[in-house]
Every structure is written in C-alpha cells, then in structure tokens.
Amino acid sequence: MTLSFKTLAIALGTLSTASSVIALQNGVGKLPVMGYNAWNVFQCNVNESLIIQTAQYMKEYGLLDVGYKYINLDDCWAMKNRSSTGEVVSDTTRFPDMKNLTDQLHALGFYAGIYSDSGWFTCAGYPGSFMHEEQDALTFQFWGFDFLKYDNCAIPFDGVISEGIVGKYQRMTDALATVAEKTGTTFVFSLCEWGWNQVWLWGASMGHSWRIDGDIGPYWSSIARIINSVSFITQATNYYGRNDPDMLEIGNGDLTYEEAKTHFTAWALMKAPLLIGTNLATISSEMLSILKNTEIIAINQDPVYGTSISPFRWGINPDWTSNASFPAQYWSGQSQNGTLIMLINTIDEPADMFFNLTESPWIRAGRQYTVRDLWTHTSNGTAVRNFTAKNVAPHGVAALLLQDGGDEPVGLMPPCAGEAATQCMAENGTKYY
C-alpha cells in the first residue's frame, strides 16, 4: 500500500508549514480525488462482493486508467454496537474482514475509503466517532484504509461538545495527525459538513475537501442548485483543499446526456472531487464516455493551476444574483495549456452564447485566440475580441480551451475592446469613446 501525507497535505494546524510543504511534494492529496462511492445507488445495500465487483468494473471500463483510483465505502458498513472495549466493528455478514477487502482493492490498483461521522451516530444510525476519534482512526489504519469521509449527523448537545462545529471536526483532524505520528499512515480527509457553517472558510485547515451543499439528486434542478451555490465561493478551492459539490450522478435518474455533460464539466473544472455514484453494471456507453473525457479530466488534475473556474458574467440574471434554477452561465479559469471557458445554457431551449474575450480576467487584450472544444475534441477556429458558442443544448454546456494565437489583426476599431472601450485613449490624449 502506498503511504502518503494525505490529510497532512492540507496544512493542518497541528503540523509545521515545512511538513505541509513536504506533504504536498508527495503528490497524493494535492489534486482532487477521483474514484467511486456506492451510496447514491446502493445506499445500505452493500457488501464486500459488490465493492470488489465495482472495482473490477472500474478496471474493465478503463476508469482506473484515466485516474479514478479510490473505491470508497459510505454509511452502513458497521455493526450497530461497538465492542466491549469500544472498537467499531464491521458487519460480520456483509464485511467480515475489512483487511481482506482493502488488500483486494490495493491489489487491483485502488486506494480504499471508509466513512464515519463526527456525531454520536452516522446518518443511517450506525456508530459515529464522537469521543472515539483516535480509536476509530487507528482501527481504520489497521484495516488498511486510505480515505475517510466524515459526516455531520447526530450532533451532541452543546453542553456535551462545548465547542462549535469547527471543534467537532478538529477532534478527528487531531486524531488523524496523532495516528500519522504513531504509524506513519495518513488519510485523505473529506469533510461532509454540508456548508451550513461556512465550511469553505475553515475547511482547508483540516481536510482535502468539504461539502458545500445538501445531497445531490439525479435531476437537473439539483445540479443547477449546486452550481449556484458554488458560484459564490470558488475562491476557496486550491491545492490545499476544495469545495465538494457531492458525487457524480452520471447515468442516474432523469439526467439527459447534455445535462450529464454539464454536470461533469462543472464538477471537473471547479476542481471538485470526482466520485462516481453510478451502478456500473448498467451504465450506458454514452454516459461512460462522459466520465472518460480525458481532456476534461486533465483540467481537473492540472498540476500547475489548482484553482477553480469562476463566473465572469451571470447571464440571465444580474451579476451576483443567487438563483437556484438559473445559476451563473459564463465562467473562466486558468490551466497550464490555456484559458478555460465554460458556458452553461440554463434555459429549456437551445441558445447561442456570446461573450467578449476580455470579460475573462485571464485573456490578454490585443491578442487573438485559437478555440478548442473539449467535448467534440475539435478546433472551433480563431476568436478575435469575442466568440459565440452556437446552439448550446438546453441545460447543456460548451467547454472551451483558448490558446494565445498571436497579435490580433491590425486596424480593428475601436482600438480598445470590451469594457476598456469606455475609457480608451491614445498617448496624445485623443479619446476613442
């Protein structure tokens, strides 16, 4: 099993800055996690055989090869009661030997993830880790797990916990740091706090990622709601931690192919964890192709730029408008290979989507840009000052990579483009506005 400074790579307050820098150089935990979580499809109906079969599908379908390396358990894996000495115990029928499970996953080339809760119980009523943090962390380490998703149900009374939500999560952060010191093994630590307490402000001091909204559903209104929530906090994402908009519903429920593309594009370009929540035994080849878009995955896993794309214009609504049904439509960001543009058509009919290049802060004035479509994998020509994505599907997306193509043609008027045109002036004072 590969050991890494996963939790510790997130600049934990319990470790020195020097240790954090070394941890980031290790590489694991620096980039968003990619993998699988069984909850959205199977919920409590999971067992060792299903998890191993899922891992085998991941290999067979080439998902491991394109970067999906984590197979994570969610709730319901435990017995309802702890042992007489306080240890959490895996279900003796469904998960009779957790060490055997993680050994099998590691042998297949995956990391293994497990789930617990910061309260008395998990959300499904199994033992939580409150007041057992170090004991549970040592158990998870002994079993061979590499990842811990940590939920927020069954919160102890204020008089018991005597601290806020930050302190409740800090307890496990400290426990994981102690286990790392004792054993040399660390975890990717994923906080599932749902954003109620502005977790994006403090989550980077504790974990790899933090949930920013309620549970996702396999329908467009849920995807739109979460994109709206993320649009206001994109600045929180970088190599030290990232907003987690929940699992990928590609192939589930009522999502159309175009909606699924939008879902995947937004999650990937926001630099969110990419955790598949689909029944791989029944997924269509069309939906599988979305999950395997290596040009989109390369943006998510960019080792040079770790920040999220952000809106540069809301579109239908005035800028900074919160609208769960019609979120921000025009987004941009940096990548090692050029400027990213994401255009989301939030209405129910096809639409042309126009923007001035310099609306993105990452575009240089006076330059022209070649345009690559990250879904058709083709060139869309050269953009000079502006670009229109034609006929974007209802609830669909255009994902574009703009690369500098040299000076724009001479003689264009006005001599300043976009917003600069309102203050355009020559050196001699001549106004062009």
As annotated, the active-site residues are 151, 215
**Among 322, 357, 323, residue whose Cα is nearest residue 341:** 357
**One-character DSSP codes across 208-233:** SEEE-SS---SSHHHHHHHHHHHTT-
Beta bridge partners of 356: 386
Q: Position of tokens 């050994």?
A: 103
- 132: Cα within 13 Å, side-chain hemisphere: 18
Tokens of 157: 């009374």
Q: Which structure tokens are listed for 123?
A: 């959300």
Rounded CA gap, 86 and 76, in Å? 18
- For residues 95 and 89, the answer to whether their CB atoms sit within 8 Å is no
Contact between 276 and 68 under an 8 Å Cβ cutoff? The reply is yes
The Cα 203–Cα 195 span in angstroms is 10
Strands 310-313 and 330-335: antiparallel
368, 411 Cβ separation under 8 angstroms: no
Q: Are 240 and 29 in contact (CB under 8 A)?
A: no
Query: How far is the C-alpha of 293 from the C-alpha of 374, rounded, in Å?
Result: 8
Q: Which residue has the tokens 């004792």?
A: 182
Q: How many Å apart are CA 334 and CA 237, to the nearest integer?
A: 13
Amino acid at 399: A
Amino acid at 9: A
Cα-based distances in Å from 421 to 211, 289, 358, 365: 41, 43, 11, 11
Instruction: Give the residue among 414, 418, 410 at the shortest CA–CA distance from 433.
Output: 414
Question: Using omega within 30 degrees of 0 as the cis cutoff, is the peptide bond preceding 414 cis?
Answer: yes
- The alpha carbons of the chain give a radius of gyration, in whole angstroms, of 23
Tokens of 239: 């190599």
Residue of 14, 13, 58, 9 lying closest to 29 (CA atoms): 9
